[in-house]
Amino acid sequence: MTARRRNCDVLIVGGGPVGGLLACLLARGGLDIALVERGTRKASSAPDGNGDTRGYALAAGTVRLLDDVGYWQPLVTAAEPIRAVHVSRQGDFGSVVMDSKSQQVPALGQVVPAVRIDAMLADALSATGVERLEQTALETLEAAGDERREAVLAGPDGRHRLAARLVVAADGTASATRAAAGIEVQRRRYAADALVFDVRSARPHRGRAFERFTPEGPLALLPQPGGRLNVVWVAPPEVCEERAALAESERIAALQERFGWRLGRLRAAGPVARFPLELVRARRLYDRRMVLAGNAAHGLHPVAGQGLNLSLRDVAVLAGGVLAARDPGAPEVLAAYAQARKGDIDRVATVTDLLARGLPLGERLVPVALRRGMLLLDRIGPLRQFWAEQAMGLQPLPRRILRGLPPVPRETGTPASTAARTGEGK
């Protein structure tokens, strides 16, 4: 039985970083937005966060984007600047170092805990007055004439129908919205999971990020404030399972053996979470009055720390296009978005996948790099260039439109709604 019906301009399914940021930007641009999230969001005052142990490496371009739209300041105290990135291979001498000085910038990027981004967006959503439907999931998408697409949603108080001029799938790699629109995906499960947790080191990290390629998979240590580092440790699923079950001291001893002693003794500094890794690519980015953004469009291996950076560029381009249009779901708006995003997504997904499968980047180059050690990578233009460019992430974005948004509204403390507004809204 249908509980309620309403219309809105844009319905966003998925309240992760992509859905959350997009909702804030479009609402500030004057559109009537509904945001549907299967789980619940926690505001910054929540003491326990949401259990996500990841520290996100945000490229300099992402930081600039967040700053342009007024959402970087609330994150500054939680962020650690990346001054240098050290790339090495276990068993080889030497490492490739990219530093902010050689790129002539104060920092290559910033590391921010996922829970802090989540909390910042929860606060921002409350302040912008976006209608949030929590513990609510999309069930199906139906036609609603030429002007709208109707979503059937299941929440705590039954089913509702929401007819939107545009439906955005921001519901992650297993997107139900994408499936409901019949958009197929290319999917490859890597023979790997990632264990993610924080450590402290005896020697200061001094803003250095470390990416170490080991025979079982890449191992990254990202600098965080307060002398902590976020570990992303990729290995076959059965190895991750064993390590996750180890006593903390044994797990850290195994980590130390693989990472080495360049930061002195490592100590555990928080809980462990495990993430299965896969490549997911949507075959197309839009359908009639619906569009994909973020992980719903492309789920990547975390080896290069690019998934969220790429996703937030989707948000910027989509928001720019929608805010400049009369009709947010017009076919030409969606086609322009897909066209604008294709190159960036193809490039980042392809190179990330190559790195994930063992640093090939051209079969001919690998044996040379492996034989002579990582120092040779310094001379492999495409790889070095990729690391530098992606660390910076300074691709062109519709900055003029985004910077022209009204200022960030002050916190109103509007609670999240668990039910759709009644009546024919628009």
Ligand X SMILES: Cc1cc2nc3c(=O)[nH]c(=O)nc-3n(C[C@H](O)[C@H](O)[C@H](O)COP(=O)(O)OP(=O)(O)OC[C@H]3O[C@@H](n4cnc5c(N)ncnc54)[C@H](O)[C@@H]3O)c2cc1C
The residues of the shown chain that bind ligand X, judged by CB under 6 A, are 13-19, 36-39, 54, 56-57, 137-138, 170-172, 176, 194, 196, 232, 275, 294-295, 302, 305-309, 311
* Cα gap 237→219, rounded to integer Å: 14
| Cβ neighbourhood burial of 412 (10 Å; 0-12, 13-18, 19+) | exposed
Question: Is the CB of 126 or the CB of 295 nearer to ligand X?
Answer: 295
Supply the minimum distance, in Å, between the C-beta of residue 20 and ligand X.
7
- Closest distance to ligand X from the beta carbon of 93 (Å): 27
Which residue number, 16 or 398, has a Cβ lying nearer to ligand X? 16
**272 vs 405 by CB, closer to ligand X:** 272
Q: How far is the CB of 426 from ligand X (least distance, A)?
A: 22
- Other CB atoms within 10 A of residue 248 CB: 12
CA–CA separation, 279 vs 288, rounded Å? 25
Q: What are 69's two structure tokens?
A: 């739209």
Cα 195 to Cα 233: distance, rounded to the nearest angstrom: 5
Q: How far apart are CA 296 and CA 301, in angstroms?
A: 14
Residues 6+ apart with CB under 8 A from 273: 51, 52, 53, 54, 195, 196, 197
Q: Which among 25, 119, 44, 68 has a CA at the least distance from the CA of 321?
A: 25
* Shortest CB 38 distance to ligand X, Å: 4
- Paired sense of beta strands 208-214 and 148-155, if any: unpaired
Toward ligand X, which CB reaches closer, 192 or 380? 192
Q: Which is nearer to ligand X, 54 or 89 (CB)?
A: 54
The packing angle between helices 17-28 and 307-324, to 10°, is: 20
Distance in Å, CB of 21 to ligand X, minimum: 8
Q: Are 164 and 182 in contact (CB under 8 A)?
A: no
Smallest separation (angstroms) from ligand X to the CB of 80: 12
Which of 121, 133, 125 minimizes the C-alpha distance to 157? Answer: 133
- Which CB, 128 or 309, lies closer to ligand X? 309
Q: How far is the CB of 37 from ligand X (least distance, A)?
A: 5
For residue 252, give the nearest of 226, 223, 213, 221 by alpha carbon: 221
Q: At its nearest, how many Å lie between ligand X and the CB of residue 16?
A: 2
Cα 211-75-198 angle, rounded to 5 deg: 40
Rank residues 39 and 396 by Cβ distance to ligand X and give the closer one: 39
Backbone torsions φ then ψ of 363, nearest 5 degrees? -55, -35
Nearer to ligand X, 137 or 152 (CB): 137
Cβ proximity to ligand X, 176 vs 319, nearer residue: 176
The residue of the chain with the least Cβ separation from ligand X equals 16
Closest CB 138 distance from ligand X, rounded Å: 5
Min CB(146)–ligand X separation in Å: 25
Scanning the structure block, which residue is given the tokens 């001029």?
Answer: 165
Query: Is the Cβ of residue 74 or residue 294 nearer to ligand X in the bound state?
Result: 294
When the beta carbons of 315 and 369 are compared against ligand X, the nearer one is 315
The least CB distance from residue 158 to ligand X, in Å, is 16
Amino acid symbol at 143: A
- Strands of the sheet containing 80-82, edge to edge, are 55-59, 109-113, 80-82
Rounded alpha-carbon distances, angstroms, from residue 34 to 167, 225, 380 = 10, 35, 47
Phi and psi of 127, rounded to 5°?
Answer: -70, -30
